[in-house]
Amino acid sequence: QCSAQYVVLLNPDAFVLRGFFGSILQYLKDNPDIGILGPKILDDDGKIQGSARSFPTPLTAFFGRTSLITKLFPNNPFTRSNVLTTRSDGKTPMEVDWVSGACMVINKNAIDRVGLLDERFFIYWEDADWCRRMWEAGLKVVYFPQSCVIHHVGISSDQLFLRSLFEFHKSVYHLFEKYNKPSFQIVRFLVINGLFLRFCFVVASSGVTIWIKKHQTFGKPEIKQVLRPIKKRIKILRMIARLNIGGPAIHVFLLSRGLNTKKFESTLITGIISPQEGDMSYLFDSVDMTPTVIPELQREISVWMDLKTIGKMFRALLHEKPDIVHTHTAKAGTSARLAALMYNLINKKNVKVVHTFHGHIFEGYFSKGISLFFIWIERLLATITDVVIVISETQKIDLAKKYHIAPADKIRTIELGFDLKPFLTCSSLKGRFKTELGVKNDTVLIGIIGRLVPIKHHIMFFKAAKAYLQMNPEIDAKFVVVGDGELREELRSYCQTQGLLAHVVFCGWLKDISYVYADLSILALTSLNEGTPVSIIEAMAASVPVVATNAGGVQDLVGPRNDSRSSNGFMVCERGILCMKNDSIGFAKGIKYLLQSPAHEKQERLKQARSFVEQRYSQQRLLNDIESLYKELMNDTMSR
């Protein structure tokens, strides 16, 4: 009986945002064949609700907006064909089967033509029925994302939870009977019993959720506000297994310290290091951030400890309520992603999950069978990860094509970044390291920097050292090992049996290693597997020649081959020398080639290497790339 041309239906737990009517009214005037228009609907935390959908089918029970499968695998094709907001670009109006009754704008002419809502439906599914009747009358239903509504889901229905749940399933059956006239009684029987089982499942799972929230001990329970302010900063919960010496710890420190604090709020969770490992937690002494330590998060595999870690990470999620969970390294990545899955399912959240592969453990660490087991675990974890970050293009090819961890469009290459200034300016420290070692100024120092663990393959370094010394007995050369780890005594014993102790120096861990590079003649790397080796980047910044095995992302660093010289067991590349794994003789020849190559050739290679890392591996570039990714994830959540 109203006199207005358009009618707005709005839930009592929803409100429209500024500018809602301006574009909607003009669009409806320009398109009189539209019966119902539905705006973009946001949760109270700014996440998109799946308010535009296809008409329900039996598959909707399994791939609906809030189903378990949809929560586990939100981008599966069945959910995307059912929840049509996933297909929206966030700007363009699109025709859909039906839109949510939380907010509808209806043409009064369409109401006169089709009639009012069917009163047999109570609370639920009357919107789907009305939209279907519009289509049957030759009128369109359109999703209009340019206008926006915030809907506080559950404010109304949670007050009478069981009654609401009963009415939901009752309305589903009404919708089924209205548009499907089964010829056989058995079909009706199956539908009724299927809905009853679903009702029981939802009641049981909701009871478990309520119990968990009631008994949580980490932080205060969340109190939902009717008008909850939209967060100004994106909250990041970062997790890494250990802050042991190496690239991942430096990377995490730079991200935790360097993100724009006006736009991002960061919290770091880590575990404890083993006694044999060097500790880099001292990096955080200089910043206003103290990492939260979970003692159960350790290097060693223990089912009980790992389960406790997942539980503590889950409680941390309840306490922090992040927008994005970003995990680093395999063990933290497994525990934290499972905890995030639990958090999203139980709390009906859509926290985005990002995982960075700093390397991988699929080659060189375990037997073939165990490696295959870990590959399958990572494939499963990738299905509950929004973005997988790799640190080199070679690594992306490995994960997408060689190991099939995730599709290529889910994998993002974001190269490492560092504060390179100490290495770019280290020439002023020349002579200090040689003085500490007590060697002559003209002594050739060939260094390897890293953990003393099997994957770094220091035995090959020592075999190459022996071969080089035999080839060049007149050269005064020392082979320097910077680092520590579980193999220290074994490697010292090996050097002793090979008669190398007079030529090898074990330095242990050094906090400030820029002065080491100032005196190195060559940086060596003999790893069986790598991500992007930090020592090579540091050496290139310090203008130190590099010889390395072809492991992981090493090829991306040393660049393409300059010529076809490979018969001597090494390849001359644009920015370094590349050798095959386990070829110690070829490695020794590569060292000799670097030391004897013409000065102009050597300088050109060092110049290219230094320029390359300055441009590609700066700290600011890394921060810009990560901030852009985080914004993209949040915009993707809020724009459709």
Can you give 393-450 as a three-state secondary structure string? HHHHHHHHHHCCCCCHHHEEECCCCECCHHHHCHHHHCCHHHHHHCCCCCCEEEEEEC
Smallest Cα–Cα separation from 301: which of 276, 339, 337, 274? 274
Residue 54 and residue 131: Cα distance in Å, rounded? 11
Instruction: Output the six-digit token pair for 178.
Output: 């209205």
Residue 412 and residue 632: Cα distance in Å, rounded? 12
Per-residue pLDDT, 83: 87
Per-residue pLDDT, 567: 61
Contact 494, 462 (CB under 8 A): yes
Residue 333 and residue 378: Cα distance in Å, rounded? 9
Distances (CA, A) of 632 to 102, 131, 234, 361, 628: 27, 33, 11, 29, 6
* Residue type (1 letter), 151: H
Q: Which residues of the chain have pLDDT under 50?
A: 219-229
User: What contacts 405, CB < 8 A, 6 or more positions away?
Assistant: 375, 378, 379, 382, 388, 399
For the beta carbon of residue 587, count every other beta carbon within 10 angstroms. 29
Residue 106 and residue 10: Cα distance in Å, rounded? 11
Helices marked H in 122-160: 126-136
Per-residue pLDDT, 365: 74
* Residue type (1 letter), 399: L
Angle, CA of 102, 107 and 110, to the nearest 5°: 105
Per-residue pLDDT, 569: 84
User: Which residue ranges form the domains of the chain, and what is each CATH number?
Assistant: 6-155 (3.90.550.10), 234-417+623-639 (3.40.50.2000), 421-617 (3.40.50.2000)
Per-residue pLDDT, 154: 62
Residue 279 burial by Cβ neighbours in a 10 Å radius (0-12, 13-18, 19+): middle
| Model pTM score | 0.68
Per-residue pLDDT, 280: 83
